[in-house]
Chains A and B, each alone.
Chain A
Amino acid sequence: MTPAPYIPHKHEHIPTGAVMVIGGGISGMQSALDLANSGFKVYMVEKSPAIGGKMAQLDKTFPTNDCSMCIVSPKLVEVGRHKNIELFTHSQLTDLQGEQGDFTAKITSHARYVDTTTCTGCGLCEHTCPVTYKPDFPDVSAAESEKPGSGKVKFSKAKDKRVISGSLSPSPASVKAWTFTIDEEKCGKCGLCSKSCLQEAISWQKGTLAEIDQKKCTGCGACYSACPAKFAAVQISNAPEIEKSLGAALIARSQEIRKTVGDTPPAQCIRCGLCALMCKEVMGVNALKLHEQGVEAGVDICQMCGACISVCPVDFLSMAELSNRTAQPLLDEFNEGLGGRKPVNIHYPQAVPRVPVIDAESCVKLNTGNCGICQSICGVGAIQYEDILTEKTVHVGSVIFSPGFEVSDPKLRAEYGYGIYKNVVTSIEFERLLSASGPTSGTVIRPGDDSHPKKIAWIQCVGSRDHSCNREYCSSVCCMYATKEAYIAREHDKAIEPTIFYIDMRSFGKNFDDYIERAKENKVTYVRAMVSRIYEDPQTGDLELRYTDESGQKQSEVFDMVVLSVGIQVKKSSQRLAEMLQIEMDKYGFAVTDTFSPLATSRPGIYVSGAFSGPKDIPETVSEASGAAQVASAAISAARGSLITSENLPEEKEILPEDELRIGVFVCHCGTNIASVVNVTEVMEYARTLPGVVYVDKPLYTCSQDSQEQMRSIIEEHNLNRIVVSACSPTTHEPLFMSTMRAAGLNKYYFDMANIRDQCSWVHPLEPEKATEKAKRLTRMAVANASQAEPLQGMEFPVDTRLLVIGGGIAGMTAALGASAQGCNVYLVEKEAMLGGNLNILRQTTDAQSIQRYLGALISQVEQDERIKVYTSSAVVEHSGFVGSFETEIITPSGSPRTLKHGAILLATGAMENRPNIYGLNEEKRVITQSDFERLMADDPEVACRYKNIVMIQCAGSRDEKHQHYCSRVCCNQAVKNSLAFKELRPDGRIDILYRDMRTYGLGELNYRKARQQGVNFIRYEPDAYPPQCTPGEKGVEVSAYDPSILMDVKLTADLLVLSTGLKPRETDELASMLRCTRNRHGFFIEAHAKLRPVDLPSEGLFMAGTAHGPKSIPETISQAQAAVSRALTILSQDKLTLSAVVSRVDPKNCAVCLTCVRACPYGVPVITPDHTAEINPALCQGCGICVAECPAKTISLGRYNDKNMFAKLRTDKLETTAVEEEVV
């Protein structure tokens, strides 16, 4: 049955104006931000200790090679600091009752043992914690009986002892050892201390007090350990940090010694005794003792925590020698187990919230009551060992379920030896190896021996398109991410030779094929072959791959490293949660959704977004996330604004021109992005010397939430009035720093940024000294500029809540209905006489639903909607205004113009089937397109049945320089859909499909498999070497081609030749120039950002949806239309907007009315007023500055970019003459 188009549930009473978002990945974050920015309260529940999801783990993103962390981190911060998003990390939804509009949800937050409100995210606890292995704790019952935490407990005795030998004389003498003395009053005269001392430094006779000879004492602490607990007579003094705890003091002393031994520790025992003290006095184990030859280890009682190894300043100890069991290192999940972690750890450096979590399984304190170092050193008292699980009940109107995915188990394809061969890694592990903040700081090394691999192979479809391991679907993203990883690996190390082994190259997205071409030019080799097995050379760790090449020859090739392109699958935990939520899932655990309502689950009120409803990439996920926000809020739109708190900004401080300059400079490490090249401390110290600078700092990540909180308090504390950040690109991060300044009561234009990353450390990695010098100069320029900054104020104006939708196809109509459901009035303008667009020529969805029935229902719903005004046979002729207040003139069928006022535009001009003159199309009756064939089968099945032999040619005029040089994404699925439909009409019919790569991505692969099972023949062709030849003959169209998989020519006679000709965008030349929207060379509109703003157009207030953006399927179009409405609502739901303050202003005094500015402005903004002067509407001005540069009278100025700013930057020599003189020399 065809479901009706989405109708929001009508409520008797007002629903709850809050939405729960499950999952804090890019999907959840986008949904949350859209909702919170359009008047809804959001509760975000994330299972892991920080939000960010899989995208935070990625290094770069295809096809633009943007740094994933760099583009996602502003979103992390925005979510983290948003007043209307309440974050529940380390938490899970445990119960959901009620129905759409009125759910009651129970959120269970796991004990974190760190208080999120007081923690500053400094990381000292993680840094200090000495535990690096998963300890083997004794039985709980036994531990309890020994009074945990009481200091001296009864220790177990080692039966199995081993001496780890390798001892130097006590050293280093230079380090001031602690002073050990004996308290005469406490001394029990037992002599145990004297016996324990290996230096014979303690004099003792039976029945006398013991005394330590300080000259002989080396400060090893053996006497301290030996003194019985009932006496505790040995006292420690001169020990830094001892007031906090003994453990803290041990670590401080270890670091002190480490400094003196330098980078090359002797790996010989220096008799410092820290290990033994740590083991007994802190960990309560007593497995270690100093011995004449080194260290004596009780290998049977060792708890394998690794604290002794951490505290040893000379790297003398190793776990293999300390214990008779096999120890498990604690592995960092975020780094996919490639690096280690501590029991207390911050999820990743940019984590939001940047608050550590203690792992209750491996923490010594939580298990035995010993240790407790982290609590003793935490300056703000944030560590709470008594923390417990908490529960909270919240009320929400809708739920968005976006739990994300996990990678499939690489061991499903055991022949590749993952887990056995050390140099076989998964693609997500490789992402971490590439990442600058990963375990190798971005150096590509093989895990087996840390060497630099030269030849690296990627094997595609591991856990995808594979019936043998129950993963029949295609994971959609692997072809592209493998290409990206190969490409980026070569950027890191030009010596790397990547080879990608694949079945079909599925680069079906926008600009993806171009990306593959670029990769090929960049020496990424592609081999169409399935690797049958990997053989490891046990001596070198090199890997031999065997496969059959395209000429049918068996090949064997040796690689240094292999990356398995693992697929996407639904986590078991997500499936359990979905079961609890009563959401229907398919056999793989993906949510079941309908073609026409792709974001609604089977339970009303619960919506889905991201990879949980099928494998997909980031832009599609972001698009779905916005779409889910729209459908989730449409149902509860009556409650918009009912539960939100608005941001209360402090009054801006007035700063007078004569006030003293108080500049704060923040020089960012950006992890290692900047700090690995530029000497950050040196730049910071240099900045301190610059005029007006009163405060300097060097945060690890200036953009992280805790750094921003700190910046805010520093501004207040030091009364700063200008801020300079030397970090990354202002394009991505300036808004963040500016909003922090505004929150601290400063005008946000008292600011400048020096880009010492993209324009310095990234481009000069081999010249650190010169790069440091350049960073100093860039910082100097920014400081000079900031000292000249002036406060600017943006204009505030009311928002028109109406939406103009251009294009009445499925995208436009879906959007119109969505906006109407949200309470907006909509103008829907369609060029043709009839609504429906490209859907009019289609008949059946891939899941065999009737398109025409749905279309009919959709059109009548649009026409009956009181809030939607439809103008068919109408065209846009004029457009003016700005975001929130546009005016658009249309010509109606009567020929009369009409002016529409509205606050935002949604462009949905669509695309149409291409009909190139190719293979006899448009000439020969027996040659038709896929859509022709689809209509023939649906409208005239009897005629269709007269044909028996059908030949289809894919990419007819697509991916072809002479026609359309891009992939149309939908044709492979359409061909499969039509062949299945034909097989149903005529089971004895024969279908041969000539293809280049079958791009039946995602769950479309299931139909491709079904078609093969039903006997549809798929024959690959090579367009350059052997293009298919078609000649009309008497019996039919003769088609000949060469099949490279059987190495033979194929001759077919087609009763009907069906061409997959692809989609081409509608004619939009005039519209695009009127709206000033850029299109790519194929005529599709270019989005504001390929990854994270897929439905936003670069101009503010303009959005797009559907095939105007690029070819896409019906469900993709629908979710994009819903997404575009969601994005538009972030504007339309506001009462008022504030415009940018950086605009050109004309001083009429000197204006000669020469019209230079009028001619120069690319946006046509300046006009001449009746007062005889040029005028620039600040609402329309884009702030590009061209008029400022052109004006001969220099009477136009642009805030932030005035001459005095420029001169200050250029003439920074005046600030510091000495430095310049040196440069001149």
Chain B
Amino acid sequence: MNMAYYPGCSLQGTARDYNDSIHEICTALNISLFEIEDWNCCGASSAHMTNHEVAMRLSIRNLLIARKTKLDILVPCSACYQRLKAADKALRDDPEFWDVEEYNPDFELVHITSFFSRPEILDQLSQSIRQPIGAMRVACYYGCLSLRPPHLTDAPDYEMPNSLEKIVSTVGAQPISWSHRTECCSGSLTMTRPDIAGKLVGDIVAAAQRGGATAMVTDCPMCQANVESRQLDITPEGPHLPVYYATELIAAALKGEYPDKQKKIHLVPACALQKAMVQAGPIREETP
């Protein structure tokens, strides 16, 4: 399978390991990713708050380049996904307004979690696992941008999604039922209003812990960084919940181990995954 790929800035910076795990999985599943040539900022973060037109045109440029590939575009970052979707909808609605002659490509913008939770990919995954994760209770955390507003994201279950749960249970972990799965993590306020960020992250982590989670799993680089880092300010003494990317779990299950190197990238102690894998028993010798 071939997919165009838009990593976005996070995956080149703070979430570089996210990018690595995605490439690892895709290689294992025989999915070829073609990074969009000369891509630029999606227009999230500062741009869309400062100048609507600039924000839109940034994403439009990406789309106009991407349409040459005629491939569906895989987008891992929630913010990028939402901005690209917004631009795609605006362009399809009225290309001339954006000085584009014609815009009606048949590609689809695909968010990473909806991609990996497709039934055929889940099938492929469960057949390729070398070792299931085992008894790790995880709180799947979606945050907001990949789901809402639904008229932009086209997410079918924008209030009560279950795609992350499908993925983590396929690789053997145990998703818990908890209440704050789609709450805002305050990513955009984390620098400017640490007071708000502290409260929101505190609520989310407390809710996950109350549900019995030993770790959180997300697909959003902002959520990952924000929820993990803010915990250190709120409760310096801990206990802290590590926030894994769903792809880290998949990659570990495919590889049969969670490397120490990867563990060190987390800002809070992240041994839960390794522990669960050790307890789950020996690695399957051959992948079927």
Mark B133-177 against chain A: 1 for CB-CB distance below 8 A, else 0.
000000000000000000000000111100000000000000011
What is the minimal beta-carbon distance from A421 to any residue of chain B, in angstroms? 8
B-chain residues with CB within 8 Å of residue A544 when the two chains form the complex: 179
State the Cβ distance, B174 to closest chain A Cβ, in Å.
Answer: 13
Whether A536 pairs with B179 at a CB distance below 8 angstroms is: yes
Give the distance in Å from the alpha carbon of A250 to the alpha carbon of B177 in the complex. 41
A420 and B210: CB pair below 8 A? no
Picked from B157, B160, B176, the residue with its CB within 8 Å of the CB of A538 is B176
Contact of B158 among A414, A420, A537, A539 (CB under 8 A): A414
Residue from the list A413, A414, A537 in contact with B179, Cβ < 8 A: A537
Residue of B nearest to A416 (CB): B159
Q: How far is the CB of A545 from chain B (nearest CB, A)?
A: 12
A229-243: which residues lie under 8 A (CB-CB) from chain B?
A: none
Q: Does A512 contact B (CB under 8 A)?
A: no
Residue tally, chain A, CB below 8 Å to B: 12
**Given A537-B210, A538-B212, A539-B210, also A420-B178 (CB < 8 A):** no
B180 within 8 Å of A by Cβ? yes
**Can you name the residue of chain B whose Cβ is closest to the Cβ of A533?**
B159
A535 touches B158 (CB 8 A): no
Which chain A residue lies CB-closest to B176? A538
Residues of chain B within 8 A (CB-CB) of A414 are: 157-160
Q: Please, how many angstroms separate the alpha-carbon atoms of A147 and B186 in the complex?
A: 66
With both beta carbons as reference points, the residue of chain A lying nearest to B178 in the complex is identified as A538
Interface: B207 (CB within 8 A): yes
Give the number of residues in B that approach A within 8 Å (Cβ atoms): 13
Report how far A1192 CA is from B207 CA in the complex, Å: 81
A417: Cβ under 8 A from any B Cβ:
yes
* Interface: B202 (CB within 8 A): no
B105 touches A (CB below 8 Å): no
List of A residues within 8 angstroms of B178 by Cβ: 536, 538
A580 to chain B, nearest CB (A): 31
Q: Which partner residue on chain A sits nearest B150 by CB separation?
A: A468
B-side contacts of A536, CB under 8 Å: 177-179
Contacts of A420 in B (CB 8 A): 160, 177
Does B187 touch A at the CB level, under 8 Å?
Answer: no
Whole-angstrom CA separation of A414 from B150 in the bound complex: 13
> How far does the alpha carbon of A544 sit from the alpha carbon of B210 in the complex, in Å?
14
Is the CB of B269 closer than 8 A to any CB of chain A? no
B-chain residues with CB within 8 Å of residue A411 when the two chains form the complex: 160
Distance, CA A972 to CA B210, complexed state (A): 48
Contact B159 A538 (CB under 8 A): no
Q: Is B95 in contact with chain A by the CB < 8 A criterion?
A: no
Give the Cβ gap from B2 to chain A, nearest Cβ, in Å. Answer: 34
What per-residue 1/0 map shows which CB atoms of B175-208 lie under 8 Å from chain A? 0111110000000000000000000000000010
| Nearest chain B residue, comparing its CB with the CB of A420 | B160
**Which residue on chain B has the smallest CB distance to residue A534?**
B179
Flag if A417 contacts B212 (CB, 8 Å). no
B210 A417 Cβ-Cβ under 8 A? no
**With A and B bound together, what is the CA distance between A535 and B203 in angstroms?**
11
**Residues of chain B contacted by A415 (CB below 8 angstroms):** 159-160
Q: Which residues of A contact B179 (CB under 8 A)?
A: 535-538, 544
Shortest Cβ distance from B157 into A: residue:
A414
Contact A538 B158, beta carbon cutoff 8 Å: no
Chain A residues near B158 (CB-CB < 8 A)? 414
Task: Give, as a whole number of angstroms, the nearest-CB distance from A537 to chain B.
Answer: 7
Q: Which residues of A contact B180 (CB under 8 A)?
A: 535
Max chain A C-beta neighbours (<10 A), residue from B158, B159, B177, B210: B159
Taking CB atoms, residues of chain A closer than 8 Å to B210 are: 537-539
Closest to A412 in B: B159
Question: How long is the Cα–Cα vector from A536 to B207 in the complex, in angstroms?
Answer: 9
Closest beta carbon of chain A to B246's beta carbon, Å:
20
Encode contact with B along A515-549: 1 for CB under 8 Å, 0 otherwise: 00000000000000000000111110000100000
Which B residue's beta carbon lies closest to that of A543?
A: B179
Provide the A407-436 mask, 1 if CB < 8 A to any CB of B, else 0.
000010111010010000000000000000
**Which residue in chain A gives the minimum CB-CB distance to B211?**
A538
- Taking CB atoms, residues of chain A closer than 8 Å to B207 are 535
Task: Please encode chain A, from 386 to 420, with 1 for each CB lying within 8 Å of some chain B CB and 0 for all others.
Answer: 00000000000000000000000001011101001
- The CA-CA distance from A411 to B176 in the complex, in Å, is 20
Q: Which of A411, A420, A538, A539 has the most CB of B within 10 A?
A: A538
Minimum CB–CB distance from A44 to chain B (whole Å) comes to 41
* CB of B38 to closest CB in A, whole Å: 39
B157: which A residues are within 8 A, CB to CB? 414
B138 to A: closest C-beta gap in Å:
13
On chain B, the residues within 8 Å of A538 by CB distance are 176-179, 210-212
A526-583 residues with Cβ-Cβ distance < 8 A to B are 535-539, 544
- Closest beta carbon of chain B to A326's beta carbon, Å: 13
Least CB separation from A544: chain B residue: B179
The CA-CA distance from A414 to B159 in the complex, in Å, is 5
Q: For residue B93, give the distance in angstroms from its CB to the closest CB of chain A.
A: 20
A417 to B160, CA, bound (A): 7
Task: State the CA gap A420–B212 with chains docked (Å).
Answer: 17
For the complex, give the distance between the alpha carbons of A538 and B175 in Å.
Answer: 13
Closest B residue, CB atoms, query A417? B160
| A1177, chain B: closest CB distance, angstroms | 70
Chain B residues within an 8 Å CB radius of A535: 179-180, 207
Bound CA–CA A414/B207 (angstroms) = 19
CA distance A420 to B207 in the complex (A): 16
Q: Which residues of A contact B177 (CB under 8 A)?
A: 420, 536, 538
Bound together, the chains give a CA A536 to CA B180 distance in angstroms of 9
Residues of A within 8 A of B176 (CB): 538
A535-B178 Cα distance, complex, nearest whole Å:
8
What's the least CB distance linking A67 to chain B, in Å? 37
Contact with A along B214-249 (1 / 0, CB 8 A): 000000000000000000000000000000000000
Whole-angstrom distance from the CB of B173 to the nearest CB of chain A? 17
Give 6 CB contacts A-B under 8 Å.
A420-B160, A535-B179, A535-B207, A536-B179, A538-B179, A538-B210
Interface residues of chain A, those whose CB is within 8 Å of chain B, are: 411, 413-415, 417, 420, 535-539, 544
Of all A-B residue pairs in the complex, the 8 with the closest CB atoms, nearest first, are A414-B159, A535-B179, A538-B211, A414-B160, A415-B159, A536-B179, A538-B178, A538-B177
Q: A415-B160, A537-B179, A538-B178 are in contact. List 8 more A-B contacts (CB 8 A).
A: A411-B160, A414-B158, A417-B160, A420-B177, A535-B180, A538-B177, A539-B210, A544-B179
